Amino acid sequence: MRTAHSVETVRAAERALMAELPEGALMQRAAAGLAAACADLLPRVYGARVVLLVGSGDNGGDALYAGARLARRGAGVTAVLLAPERTHEGGLRALRSAGAQAVPVDGAAPVVARADLVMDGIVGIGGKGGLRPDAARLVSLVRESGALVVAVDLPSGVEADTGEVLGDAVRADATVTFGTYKPGLLIDPALTYAGAVRLVDIGLSLPPAPDLEALQYADVAALLPEPGASSDKYRRGVVGIAAGSATYPGAAVLAVAGALRGGAGAVRYVGPAADEVLARFPEVLVHAGPPSAAGRVQAWVVGPGIGDDAARVADVLAQDVPVLVDADGLRLADPSVLRGRTAPTVLTPHAGEAAALLGVSRESVESGRLSAVRRLAAEFSATVLLKGSTTLVAPAGGGPVRVNPTGSAWLATAGSGDVLSGLCGALLSAGLGGVDAASVGAYLHGLAGRRAASGAPASASDVAGALPAVWRDVRG
Ligand SMILES: NC(=O)C1=CN([C@@H]2O[C@H](COP(=O)(O)OP(=O)(O)OC[C@H]3O[C@@H](n4cnc5c(N)ncnc54)[C@H](O)[C@@H]3O)[C@@H](O)[C@H]2O)[C@@H](O)CC1
Ligand SMILES: [K+]
């Protein structure tokens, strides 16, 4: 599991550790890791031209000490001081005694133009708001130079706690972060500014519950349901799909496709697309009448392509088993019924649906995805999976938000969400909790999207078709 902690938590852990260590020791650990990462990125350190962008805080201090280390190994290092009168004093002394030079911002253009590597030490976790104008100008010079950009702790200009980017920000090829990931390094849009992230251990003791976590292969493998020797189809989980309409039968077919590949023992389908579903998947049990009359089901998926059939949504929500609500279902569900449910509820909105649920603009959801997903989970007492280029999953009762690391732009294709809802529904029916079902589903779905596409457009059916292979990969 990859974990991220908020700025407040990081600062508290830093204070505790600094109290035990000699003055400056923590910054030396950070600078040593930073210098080593830069050295790895450069073809050779000796003779490399390194430029440090140095702001007024300790983030600039890290850059100065790391620059001093590289200068001692023969790099030509120049620091550009954004606030010369407030530069980290010890760092600047170290830099000068290593034989490197410092210039003010207005002398930056010629050195930046010739740089091989630029270290961004403008701001770290102390930054607020986007880059200020002089820093933004400097950063556009860096972009024009084509130099490799290494962000110190996080790209300057991105919000560490939320992943928002409120103005200009540094676009880094790599980020060297200290102690723990910061939430912004796992969430877009900030994530897309960070490049490859390297974590440097500086010895912080952090609380066991992070603010954010991202499942990795092994975590997903451990969560995948496996049929035991005594499993029959009912014990493996029966998932009910209440989806599709005369206008949108395809949504039903795709949700069923996701459910069948999600390890369900059996899939029941209720709705007007039964013929279309059976034509593709003869193994599905179809039922006429309301979902509640369909027989035993361990979890329901309701909503994809359901049109205006509010009665089908209400009937599903009245059942005391886990329910995943998607698409039209999100518009039709009664919020007070959602809040009053005792069995787990999972909502899977995209940004537009999330905006409608919260009564805010789509833009405000897009720019503040972490706060939006947390708010939704709290307001509807449900696990919420917010789709996007990094899908987020927030638990109903608060706690770490899961970030899906396997997203793929190829998944932005019609019907791909229907496959995801069926897949997550099957995982719910197999007994996974809401957060695990949603985050494992998102993980597999992302991998399936990548595998189905592998460089060329793929349809939602292709994504469903790729699920067995990624399941095998993850388990293997
Ligand atoms: N506290 C510690 O012992 C350690 C801190 N470390 C480094 O210290 C950083 C935090 O240092 P600070 O708390 O000094 O904060 P920062 O260096 O992140 O930034 C604070 C300074 O930047 C200015 N500033 C804020 N927003 C700005 C903006 N948008 N544009 C330009 N300037 C802006 C502020 O006025 C303040 O002077 C971490 O990110 C990390 O890089 C590491 O050395 C590890 C150890
Ligand atoms: K930085």
Mutation probe of ligand 1 site: the residue of 14, 20, 27, 58 with most atoms within 8 A of C-beta: 58
Kindly report which listed range (54-58, 153-157, 355-359, 452-456) carries the lowest average pLDDT score: 452-456
Per-residue model confidence as pLDDT tens digits over 279-308: 999 999 999 999 999 999 999 999 999 999
Give residue ranges with CB within 6 A of ligand 1. 14, 18, 26-27, 30, 55-60, 62, 123-129, 131-132, 135, 152-153, 178, 202
* Residue 409, pLDDT score: 75
Distance CA 202, CA 27 (A): 9
The predicted model gives 220-224 an average pLDDT of 96
Crossing angle of helices 25-41 and 58-72, in 10° steps, is 60
Mutation probe of ligand 1 site: the residue of 27, 53, 56, 123 with most atoms within 8 A of C-beta: 123
Give residue 127's pLDDT band: very low, low, confident or very high (50, 70, 90). very high
* Residue 129, pLDDT score: 87
* Residue 456, pLDDT score: 85
Domains and CATH numbers, the chain: 2-213 (3.40.50.10260), 217-475 (3.40.1190.20)
Give residue 247's pLDDT band: very low, low, confident or very high (50, 70, 90). very high
Residues 6+ apart with CB under 8 A from 86: 56
Give residue 16's pLDDT band: very low, low, confident or very high (50, 70, 90). very high
The predicted model gives 32-60 an average pLDDT of 98
In terms of DSSP bridges, do strands 299-302 and 285-287 run parallel, antiparallel, or are they unpaired? unpaired
User: Hey, what are 108's tokens?
Assistant: 């930056």
* Residue 367, pLDDT score: 86
Distance CA 355, CA 362 (A): 5
The answer to whether 13 touches 204, Cβ cutoff 8 Å, is yes
Distance CA 206, CA 407 (A): 28
**Exposure class string for 347-368: b at 16+ Cβ within 10 A, else e:** bbbbbebbbebbeeeeeebbbb
* Residue 79, pLDDT score: 98
Mean per-residue pLDDT over the chain, rounded? 95
Per-residue model confidence as pLDDT tens digits over 164-188: 898 999 999 999 999 999 999 998 8
The predicted model gives 245-258 an average pLDDT of 97
Distance CA 88, CA 442 (A): 44
Mutation probe of ligand 1 site: the residue of 5, 9, 59, 131 with most atoms within 8 A of C-beta: 59
Complex confidence, ipTM: 0.97
Strand-by-strand arrangement of the 101-104 sheet? 101-104, 76-81, 49-54, 117-121, 148-152, 174-178, 196-200
Distance CA 386, CA 186 (A): 14
Kindly report which listed range (95-109, 275-289, 410-424) carries the lowest average pLDDT score: 410-424
* Residue 454, pLDDT score: 83
Query: Which residues sit in the known binding site for AMP?
Result: 387-391, 417
* Residue 233, pLDDT score: 67
Per-residue model confidence as pLDDT tens digits over 358-400: 999 999 999 889 999 999 999 999 999 999 988 999 999 999 9
Distance CA 61, CA 173 (A): 21
Residue 165 DSSP label:
B
Query: Which residues sit in the known binding site for K(+)?
Result: 59, 120, 156
The predicted model gives 65-80 an average pLDDT of 98
As to burial, measured by CB atoms within 10 angstroms (0-12 exposed, 13-18 middle, 19+ buried), residue 47 is: exposed
Per-residue model confidence as pLDDT tens digits over 232-243: 666 678 999 999
> For residue 11, is pLDDT > 90?
yes
* Residue 227, pLDDT score: 73
Distance CA 272, CA 276 (A): 9
* Residue 188, pLDDT score: 83
> For residue 231, is pLDDT > 80?
no
Query: Which residues sit in the known binding site for (6S)-NADPHX?
Result: 58-62, 124-130, 153, 251, 305, 350, 418
- pTM for this structure? 0.89
* Residue 230, pLDDT score: 61
Distance CA 240, CA 294 (A): 8
The predicted model gives 207-229 an average pLDDT of 91
Distance CA 459, CA 54 (A): 47
**Exposure class string for 20-40: b at 16+ Cβ within 10 A, else e:** eeeeeebbbbbbebbbbbbbe
The answer to whether 423 touches 328, Cβ cutoff 8 Å, is no
Residues 6+ apart with CB under 8 A from 281: 253, 256, 257, 260, 267
* Residue 412, pLDDT score: 79
